Amino acid sequence: MVFTARQVTILLRPEQSKQNDRFIMSWYDYMLNRSYASAYAATTLPSVSSSIGDDDDDGMPWDDDNWVPRNKSGRQMSPNQIRGELQRYIDANSLAKSKVMKEMGVTGPSFYKFMNPSSYKDQWRATKNQTYWAAARFLAKVKYEKEQEKKASKGKKRKAVADGEENAGNTMPKISKKAKKQDKADAVALMAKINATQGANTSVVYDSCPKIVAKIKDFVAQPGVTKADFCAALGDINSNSLRTFLMGKKQDQCGNVTYRRAYAFFEKKRVLEGEAKTVRRLKNQTEHPHGFSLEKERNFKQVYVVAASSYRGGWFM
C-alpha cells in the first residue's frame, strides 16, 4: 500500500482525529514495510510507534506459536537432529529422563515414543509428537542460557582487564618466554649435576617400579623439566621405553632399562641433596638384600607331544 502526501499530512495532524481513525490500521500495516522505515523515523507518532513490536519483546522466539526450530543452514531441524541433541544433553549432564520430561512438560509415552527412532517409518511424522516441539523449545532455551553465560563471562574478563587484573581468578601468574628458557636451562644444569654426583650405590635397586614411577612424575612436573631432557639425562634412553615404564603395573616393567637408570638417577639426587633413607627404603633393603629383580619373569607354556603310534581307538597305549 502507498500513501499519498495528503493522507500522510492528514494523519500527522492531531486535530484531524476522525480522519486519523480512518487511516490508522492502514498506517500500522504500512509501517511494517521496510521501504517506509525512513519516512516513519521522521514522524512524531509516539503512540503508534510504542505499540508496534511491544508484544515481540515480551517473550522469547520459541514462545511464539509459529516458531520453528532451525539449523545453521536455515532449514527446519529434523526429529533425528532434535532427538540426537536432546540425548547428548541428557548424557553430558547425567540427568534423569523423568526430570527432563518434567521440565519439558511431556508424558512418558510421548517421550519414549519420540526418542525411539524405529517408532516412525518417516522421521518427519515425529513432528506430530508433542515431545518434538517441547524438546526443540527446551534445547533452544538451554542454548540461549549458555550464550548469555558466555557473554557474561566475557564481560567479567573485559572488566578484569580494564581494572588491571588480567589474571583474575587464576592463582598462577603468566610466565614469560625468557623465564621459561631460564627454567629449562636450570633444569638441564641440575640433571647434569645429579649425574656427576659420586658416592651413591647404584649397583642394586631398592625401590619398586611404582615408587620410581612416582618419582619420575614428580620430577618431570617441575618447572623447566621436559621428558626429552630427562631421557637424555638417563643416558639417551628411548622415549618409548620411558612411556612404557610409566604405564606399567607393579613390577611388570622391572626389565625395562628405564627402571635401573632412573633408580640410579634418583639415588644420586638423594645423596646430592643429603636426604636420609626412608622407612620404606630401609624395609626394602631388609626384605630384598640383593635388590629387586631386573629381569622380567617369562611365562612358559608347557606343550605335550604325543606320538601318533601311541594313540589307538581313542585310548593311549
Q: What percent of the chain has pLDDT over 70?
A: 69
Cβ–Cβ < 8 Å for 263, 212: yes
pLDDT in tens, 5-46: 555 444 445 445 445 544 444 444 444 443 433 333 333 333
Cβ–Cβ < 8 Å for 208, 251: yes
Q: What is the pLDDT of residue 107?
A: 92
Give the separation between CA 133 and CA 79, rounded to whole angstroms.
Answer: 9
Give the separation between CA 264 and CA 87, rounded to whole angstroms.
Answer: 53
pLDDT in tens, 84-140: 988 888 888 888 888 888 988 999 899 999 999 888 888 888 898 999 999 999 998
Give the separation between CA 284 and CA 261, rounded to whole angstroms.
Answer: 18
Give the separation between CA 200 and CA 237, rounded to whole angstroms.
Answer: 21
Report, in angstroms and rounded to the nearest whole number, the Rg of the chain calculated over CA atoms: 39
Give the separation between CA 143 and CA 72, rounded to whole angstroms.
Answer: 13
The position carrying cell 506430530 is 128
Give the separation between CA 175 and CA 25, rounded to whole angstroms.
Answer: 67
Q: What is the pLDDT of residue 250?
A: 84
Residue 179 pLDDT grade (very low, low, confident, very high; cuts 50, 70, 90): confident
Give the separation between CA 289 and CA 205, rounded to whole angstroms.
Answer: 10
Give the 3-state secondary structure of 91-157. Answer: HHHCCCHHHHHHHHCCCHHHHHHHHCHHHCCCHHHHHHCHHHHHHHHHHHHHHHHHHHHHHHHHHHH
Cβ–Cβ < 8 Å for 292, 208: yes
What is the pLDDT averaged over residues 169-196? Answer: 78
Query: In the chain, count of helices (H) and strands (E)?
Result: 14, 2
Instruction: Please tell me the least confidently modeled range out of 1-10, 80-89, 162-171, 194-203.
Output: 1-10
**Collapsing DSSP states into helix, strand and coil, what is residue 107?**
coil
The position carrying cell 640410579 is 264
Considering the entire predicted model, what is its pTM? 0.41
Q: What is the pLDDT of residue 109?
A: 92
When mean pLDDT is compared over 26-40, 48-62, 107-121, 280-294, the highest value belongs to 107-121
Q: What is the pLDDT of residue 165?
A: 54
311 DSSP 8-state letter:
E
